[in-house]
Amino acid sequence: MLLDDLMPTTAAFAAATGWKIESRGACKGDLCVPLPDGAYREERVDVAVVAERLGMAVVPAESGGLWAVGPESFSGRALSTVAAPDLELQTFDGQPFSLSSLRGTRMVLVAWAPY
């Protein structure tokens, strides 16, 4: 998830991460993680506090005022699933390419970012 504000609305946070902020904490399905006081207020989420509790990496961009927030990880900074979202990019000749076209095929996906 990319953010331009570390205090998004609870609805935007839930839509981007799947974690719904409730009075009992951050919940995803049957799993709820208690949150400390001040983690959310007035329908806004303090991403730094919630991300720390859920084991999400928060990485600032060098410029542009953006932050990348990674998936939850309760045992370190690892992915919680191997299921990748569908991703569509253009090939070098401008044709669309969808990651889902490789479903069922073993592959290595390498990503790079300058931070």
Rounded CA-CA distance 42/35 in Å is 15
Q: Does 115 or 107 have the greater pLDDT score? A: 107
Model pLDDT for residues 21-34, shown as the tens digit of each residue: 998 899 998 889 99
Model pLDDT for residues 79-104, shown as the tens digit of each residue: 555 666 788 889 999 999 998 898 88
Q: Is 21 a member of any domain? A: yes
Statement: residue 112 has pLDDT above 80:
no
Q: What is the total residue count of the chain?
A: 115
Q: Is 83 a member of any domain? A: no
Statement: residue 69 has pLDDT above 90:
no
Q: Is 41 a member of any domain? A: yes
Domain that holds residue 29: 2-69
pLDDT of residue 79: 53
Q: How many domains does the chain have?
A: 1
Q: Is 81 a member of any domain? A: no
Of 23, 27, 24, 10, nearest in space to 72 by CA: 27
Q: Is 54 a member of any domain? A: yes
Model pTM above 0.75: no
Of 73, 50, 53, nearest in space to 3 by CA: 50
